[in-house]
Structure 1
Amino acid sequence: MELDGRVAVITGGTRGVGAGIARAFLEAGADVVVCARRPPDRPVTAAGRTAAYAPLDLREPAAVQDFFDTLARTRGRLDCLVNNAGGTPYRLLADGGAERHARVLQLNLLAPLTASLAAHPLLHAARGSVLMVGSVSGSRPSPGTAAYGAAKAGTEHLARSMAVEWAPEVRVNTLVLGMVRTELAHLHYGDAAGLAAVAATVPLGRLAEPADVGAAAVFLASDRAGYVSGASLLVHGGGERPAFLDAATVNKED
């Protein structure tokens, strides 16, 4: 068991990618706490074990500090913090005011910073690690989710700076995700035909499953990645097929 006896916190770990990460950590032997504003529809379980749930709004610094203070008293340690909570609605920049876009930045950039700072003393004592959940949106144009893409770019940069400042006691890395098939995937990609069409644009021919992300997260949190810090691990199935390739060959004869 790669993470046997270790304590992990996964923010936004009640569904989707976060629940996939939580299940992978449970399977690896970790004692897992998931936090989110709302409880899961059903407990997050794997390998006959269940993640504990704690209600938490990561946009409230005082509440975040209280959460980690309570964790210190009840669990006594923290070995890995996974900053997974985030997301955004589709909204073109001109269709939303500055306050709406600022809320996206608050959830996707400031909240991971707030949680990491509150968790730092525990992580320092345990020689633990932080995992940021990033996105390919942070490295390419993201029309309709521009504030989200900017936040993810900032989160990846933040992780690299934290990796330098907090070394050697705390390792900090980023999982850079592409498209993931979650229970809400149909809201983004449409019905089964739409999902199939989107999956065809991925070199590996499918969207990631939450378990794929979980496996990568367990690796970065484990001793096998003990010399990996300040890194960005791409979990995107090979990326996105460049549109110009199809455009350049559309009139070519066989």
Structure 2
Amino acid sequence: MSGRTVLVTGGTRGVGAGIARAFAEAGADVVTCARRPPEVPVPGTEFVPVDLRDPAAVRALLGALPRLDVLVNNAGGTPYRSLGDADAERHARVVELNLLAPLTVSLAAHEHLRRARGAVVMIGSVSGSRPSPGSAAYGAAKAGLEHLARSMAVEWAPEIRVNTLVVGMVRTELAHLHYGGEDGIEAVSRTVPLGRLAAPADVGAAAVFLASDAAAYITGASLLVHGGGERPAFLDAATANKEK
């Protein structure tokens, strides 16, 4: 990725920091953005503050970049919240961050990417392809993001490639809050065929691949980065074929 400029939204911590680090290690010039600066800066990256839900601010950010070869739409997330425990406006903000903000950034980056014959990598989620109780608005937004990427890949071809990483459970610095400490992380890890949660570096490596020349003929695709998915519950519930 030497000589290429990469923008990673939400690239200051967790999965985003892993992605930014992977591109920096691959030789790219990496710009990260978020509302707040990172507590621990990612080596080899430049940070720019921006609220991605503000289209004018996003256009100003992209307008200030001299060039852009790769856009990674990573910013997103949601708190755990049942549908009936919040009003429509709060759920709408989740959709805004996880679906409309990536669209806003992609549109602002279009001319840069067209000139560079560049690539967009959307960071999706397995929540977009299965029921997502407690984060239904997030799952719906991620489903929409994957569809957006496929449509964008057709409209913007052949100058710009657009793909999605469909990410499963990741062990970040906040994973213990989601899974109940080390015991919870270990229990959840046992449900993954590969026996562990992803590391941010795993997602970063996949993002670098999709943005690289090695993936020059891949667009409109969804790459699963989930360690094999989740072991079907019926296998453990069924009594047939179990050892006595």
Structure-1-length-normalised TM-score: 0.95
In structure 1, the residue matched to 2:192 is 202
Separation (CA, whole Å) in 2 of partners of 1:57 and 1:156: 22
Per-residue displacement from partner, 1:147-194 (whole Å, max 9, x unpaired)?
A: 000000000000000000000000000000000000010111111111
By how many angstroms is 1:249 displaced?
2.9
* Alignment: residue pair count: 244
C-alpha separation between the residues in 2 aligned to 1:206 and 1:249?
26
- The Cα shift of 1:253 comes to 4.4
The aligned counterpart of 2:160 is 170
CA distance in 1, matches of 2:195, 2:4: 35
* 2: CA distance, partners of 1:21 / 1:239: 21
**Aligned-pair Cα RMSD in Å:** 1.0
1:212 and 2:206 are equivalent in the alignment: no
Cα distance, 1:133 vs. partner? 0.1
Correspondence for 1:41: 39
Partner of 1:66: 60
Match of 2:27? 29
Q: Choose from 234, 240, 245 the match for 2:224.
A: 234
Structure 1 residue aligned with 2:15: 17
Residue of 179, 182, 190 corresponding to 2:172: 182
Distance 2:85 2:181 in 1: 26
Selected match of 2:135 from 145, 155, 161: 145
Give the residue type in structure 2 aligned to 1:51: T
Question: How far apart in 2 are the matches of 1:125 and 1:251?
Answer: 59
1:125 paired residue number: 115
Measured against aligned partners, the alpha-carbon deviations of 1:209-254 in whole angstroms (never above 9, x if no partner) come to 0000000000000000000000000000000011111111389442
CA distance in 1, matches of 2:234, 2:54: 44
Q: Which amino acid is the alignment partner of residue 172 of structure 1?
A: V
State yes or no: 1:97 paired with 2:91. no
CA distance in 2 between partners of 1:204 and 1:174 (Å): 21
State the AA in 2 paired with 1:98: A
* Aligned equivalents of 2:164, 2:195: Cα separation in 1: 24
CA distance in 1, matches of 2:39, 2:90: 28
User: What residue is the counterpart of 2:124 in the other structure?
Assistant: 134
In the alignment, what sits opposite 1:51?
Answer: 45
* Residue of 69, 78, 93 corresponding to 2:68: 78
Q: Give the secondary-structure state (helix, strand or coil) at the position aligned to 1:249.
A: coil
How far 1:93 sits from its partner (Å)? 0.3
Separation (CA, whole Å) in 2 of partners of 1:172 and 1:200: 33
CA shift, 1:42, in A, is 1.9
Segments of structure 2 that go 5 or more residues without pairing to the other structure are none
Mapped partners of 2:6, 2:243: distance in 1: 55
What is the CA–CA distance in structure 2 between the aligned matches of 1:100 and 1:63, rounded to whole Å? 22
Question: What SS does structure 1 have at the residue aligned with 2:227?
Answer: coil
Cα distance in structure 1, aligned partners of 2:8 and 2:230: 28
Q: Residue deviations 1:35-72, cap 9 Å, x none?
A: 00000012101xxxx2000001000000000000011x
Aligned to 1:155: 145
3-state SS, counterpart of residue 173 of structure 1 = strand
CA distance in structure 1 between the aligned counterparts of 2:175 and 2:97, rounded to whole angstroms? 20
Q: Tell me the TM-score normalized by structure 2.
A: 0.99
